[in-house]
């Protein structure tokens, strides 16, 4: 197995939610390569499940795709040290208005391991109580409730492509619903 050694890292651009670096990497045969690296502070997401077993989802515009997407509530950490559970609970209330009586860790994903260190901890929320959204000034989020079958169909039909949402829905289905059959 070849060994890789970072011999340099240069900040190319500092952004609002991430930093873009160019790394200089040396491999064991002596070759040197330039690799892109995106540093992300991390994020948290949550799978809210109502008393009927439906998942509460958010529909919002995503600039990178130039379209609306259907996703689980999620957001970036306010600081790298912020506990992800706290961030997930905050995002649940901000984006959907719901509060949860019970929150538990579901899984952790790394979104783009080839060039980014983004880590998203995903939680499950139950015992929901409806409230009021607390959106940012530039946010418009529609909230809806869906069955697991509807969402699974949307995943395999190509309507839901967001990696955190796909992973979260399938993990919830497999861990909490398939094990009951």
Catalytic residue list: 137
Sheet with 4-14: strands ordered across = 4-14, 18-27, 32-40
Spatial separation of the C-alpha atoms in residues 166 and 45, rounded to whole Å: 12
Q: CA 139, 54, 171 angle in degrees (round to 5)?
A: 90
Decide: 74 and 164 in contact? Cβ < 8 Å. Answer: yes
Distance CA 6, CA 13 (A): 19
- For residues 21 and 100, the answer to whether their CB atoms sit within 8 Å is no
């Amino acid at each position: 197995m070849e060994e890789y050694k970072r011999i340099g890292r240069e900040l190319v651009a500092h952004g609002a939610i991430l930093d873009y670096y160019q790394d200089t990497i040396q491999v064991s045969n002596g070759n040197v390569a330039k690799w892109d690296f995106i540093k992300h502070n991390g994020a948290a997401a949550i799978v809210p499940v109502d008393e009927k077993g439906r998942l509460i989802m958010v529909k919002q515009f995503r600039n990178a795709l130039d379209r609306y997407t259907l996703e689980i509530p999620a957001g970036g950490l306010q600081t790298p040290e912020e506990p992800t559970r706290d961030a997930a609970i905050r995002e649940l209330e901000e984006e959907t208005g719901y509060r949860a009586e019970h929150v538990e860790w579901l899984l952790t994903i790394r979104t783009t391991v080839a060039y980014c260190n983004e880590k998203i901890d995903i939680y499950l929320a139950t015992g929901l109580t409806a409230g009021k959204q607390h959106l940012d000034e530039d946010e418009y989020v529609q909230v809806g409730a869906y069955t697991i079958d509807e969402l699974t169909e949307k995943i395999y039909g190509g309507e839901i492509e967001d990696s955190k949402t796909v992973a979260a829905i399938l993990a919830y289905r497999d861990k909490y619903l398939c094990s009951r059959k």
